[in-house]
Each structure stands twice: as C-alpha cells, then as structure tokens.
C-alpha cells in the first residue's frame, strides 16, 4: 500500500512539474512526506502489509 501511495504521489508530482500549476508546492510537500515515510519504513525493516 505504501508503494502505491508513493507511486501515485510521484506521478502527481511529475504532472505538477510539467503543468506548473498552483498545486505544485502542495504536491512537493506530499512527495516529501511519502519519501520520509518510505525511508522510515526501510530503516525499521518492517515487512509490507
């Protein structure tokens, strides 16, 4: 599930960079949150649910 959220946010972030809309900053924040969550999960070594 985490990988799905990460991929969706990554795609939205790329679309935001291409379109240059006002939501670009919001998508950057969501991407940073997704990456931090992913790193925490990798560091803790939790198995995916």
44 touches 23 (CB < 8 A)? no
Domain annotation covers residue 31: yes
The reply to whether 27 falls in a domain is yes
Inside any domain, residue 49: no
48 in a structural domain: no
Residue 24 has what pLDDT?
A: 59
CB 17 within 8 A of CB 24: yes
Please tell me the predicted confidence (pLDDT) of residue 23: 59
- First-residue to last-residue Cα distance in the chain: 7
The pLDDT value recorded for residue 29 is: 79
Q: Would you say residue 10 lies in a domain?
A: yes
Stated pTM of the model: 0.48
The stretches in the chain having pLDDT less than 70 are 16, 19-24, 27, 46-49
Q: How many domains does the chain have?
A: 1
Containing structural domain, residue 14: 2-43
């Amino acid at each position: 599930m985490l990988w799905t959220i990460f991929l969706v946010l990554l795609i939205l972030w790329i679309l935001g960079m291409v379109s240059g809309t006002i939501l670009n900053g919001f998508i950057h924040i969501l991407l940073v949150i997704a990456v931090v969550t992913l790193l925490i999960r990798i560091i803790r070594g939790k198995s995916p649910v």
